[in-house]
Amino acid sequence: MRARDKAAVSALRTTLAALDNAEAVPVDEAELRGVAIEQSPVGVGTTEAARRELSERSVVDVVRAEAAERLEVAAQLTAPAHADRAAQLRAEAAVLLRLLDGPGTA
């Protein structure tokens, strides 16, 4: 990372965001429409909800899905004008797949 590997930074940032989204608690649509403003709870922390805790298997699934998505998009970018973007996506997918292989293989 010290060398500012742009592919690794980009892949890790977006994957961390995907993991953060996976931990979010689903909100029921009825909850969003059912409470009038004057009846809503007030105060610090009233809108906080406990986040889901992902299992190791779920984390691996999210990382693998992020890598697969990058490879799929890279495969669709066949025009010569998109060669750089496709190469970047393949490099990002390689970073993520190396993380899944374990610390000894990076």
Residue 39 within a domain: no
Output the pTM of the full model: 0.73
- Residue ranges of the chain with pLDDT lower than 50? 1, 105-106
The predicted structure's pLDDT at residue 4: 73
Range of the domain at 91: 54-105
Residue 88 within a domain: yes
The predicted structure's pLDDT at residue 24: 86
Residue 73 within a domain: yes
Residue 29 within a domain: no
Three-state DSSP class for 106? coil
Residue 8 within a domain: no
Residue 76 within a domain: yes
Residue 4 within a domain: no
Residue 3 within a domain: no
The predicted structure's pLDDT at residue 48: 64
The predicted structure's pLDDT at residue 106: 44
Question: 36 vs 6, 32, 40, CA distance in Å?
Answer: 46, 10, 6
Total domain count, the chain: 1
